[in-house]
């Protein structure tokens, strides 16, 4: 199953390291540009995410009073490292994952959650009131979307009879309409769950600037903030790849990857512009009342179809 890239290159260039970073910046630009155009704004130029990153990296990093310094500097690195490592287990750019083993889906999702946990710990590490509130909200949001999102991704996994990302991808590729039609609810939950995970509007209560400035990230400046942002970008591209490979008939070549992930990004951009920000209690309510229910229903449908052996 594994492709033949030497481990060090896989880690540094493709699919980990440089490739996901560049792709993440590129996708961030597309997202920002699409949202801007939908809001009747001009939007940033193509190199703006890179310029932001370089500017942040070059800026002075202020260490606030009262933080645990080790944690303060370590957390951004851990967050980015986890996000980058996840890239090794997913079919990035439609090519086979560098590493693959039974149950790597669980590992990938776990590593993505580590990024979120790092951010909230980073917020809780400071004395700042906005950060503390942001950290609480980040964790609250995580506990609300994580379960439905996981259930939504388990749907295709059960259908494929495997918890290995590459096998699910291959199954989805072989039976694209089976998953898309029977698990349309799962797709919706996964899509919206991804937006919750990435804290995109309307699920941006954890970093709602008009209430709590930048949430958990308020005290971060310079390098630490740059790394967290980069981690978010990498998370974006990984989440897009996962949803595309699970629900949209798999990704088997770079062109397919590009089209499918950009398609999802377009839908996400539209959703981002459509709604007012949800309060954190509304977010929790939405996920547990609707999201979890839909995801469970999805799983039941999958069980039923597997039992009867229906195929389109």
Residues interacting with another protein, by CB under 8 A?
A: 38-41, 129-130, 133, 136, 201-202, 204-205, 208-213, 273-282
- CB of 263: closest distance to another protein in angstroms? 21
How far apart are alpha carbons 38 and 219 in whole angstroms? 31
- CB of 148: closest distance to another protein in angstroms? 18
**89 upstream amide cis, omega within 30 of 0:** no
- CB of 204: closest distance to another protein in angstroms? 7
> Closest CB to another protein among 43 and 222?
43
Name the nearest CA neighbour of 246 among 266, 232, 260.
Answer: 260
- CB of 208: closest distance to another protein in angstroms? 6
CB contact at 8 A, 178 and 159? yes
274-289 per-residue burial string, b: 16 or more CB within 10 A, e: under 16? eeebbebeebbebbee
> Closest CB to another protein among 21 and 216?
216
Distances in Å between the alpha carbon of 95 and those of 111, 209, 244?
21, 38, 13
Count of other CB atoms within 10 angstroms of residue 156: 31
- CB of 243: closest distance to another protein in angstroms? 23
**113 upstream amide cis, omega within 30 of 0:** no
> Closest CB to another protein among 50 and 124?
124
- CB of 120: closest distance to another protein in angstroms? 15
> Closest CB to another protein among 128 and 167?
128
Question: What 3-state DSSP class applies to 137?
Answer: helix
> Closest CB to another protein among 275 and 304?
275
Q: How many helices (H) does the chain have, and how many strands (E)?
A: 14, 0
> Closest CB to another protein among 105 and 280?
280
């Amino acid at each position: 199953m594994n492709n033949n890239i030497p481990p060090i290159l896989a880690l540094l260039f493709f699919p980990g390291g440089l490739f996901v970073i560049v792709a993440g910046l590129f996708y961030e630009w597309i997202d920002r540009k699409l949202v801007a155009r939908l809001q009747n704004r001009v939007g940033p130029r193509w190199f703006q995410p890179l310029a932001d990153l370089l500017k942040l990296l070059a800026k002075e990093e202020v260490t606030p009073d009262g933080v645990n310094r080790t944690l303060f500097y370590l957390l951004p690195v851990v967050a980015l490292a986890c996000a980058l490592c996840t890239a090794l287990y997913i079919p990035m750019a439609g090519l086979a994952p560098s590493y693959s083993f039974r149950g790597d889906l669980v590992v990938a999702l776990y590593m993505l959650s580590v990024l979120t946990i790092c951010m909230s710990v980073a917020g809780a590490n400071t004395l700042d009131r906005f950060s503390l509130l942001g950290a609480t909200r980040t964790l609250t949001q995580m506990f609300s979307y994580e379960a439905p999102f996981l259930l939504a991704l388990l749907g295709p996994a059960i259908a494929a009879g495997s918890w290995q990302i590459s096998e699910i991808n291959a199954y989805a590729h072989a039976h694209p309409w089976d998953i898309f039609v029977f698990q349309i609810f799962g797709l919706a939950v996964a899509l919206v769950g991804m937006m919750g995970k990435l804290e995109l509007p309307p699920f941006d209560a954890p970093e709602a600037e008009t209430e709590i400035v930048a949430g958990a990230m308020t005290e971060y400046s310079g390098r630490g903030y740059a790394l967290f942002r980069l981690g978010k970008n990498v998370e974006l591209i990984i989440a897009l790849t996962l949803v595309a490979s699970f629900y949209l008939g798999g990704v088997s070549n770079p062109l397919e990857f590009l089209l499918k992930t950009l398609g999802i990004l377009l839908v996400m951009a539209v959703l981002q512009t459509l709604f007012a920000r949800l309060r954190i209690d509304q977010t929790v309510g939405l996920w547990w009342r609707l999201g979890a229910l839909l995801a469970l229903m999805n799983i039941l449908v999958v069980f039923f179809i597997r039992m009867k052996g229906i195929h389109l």
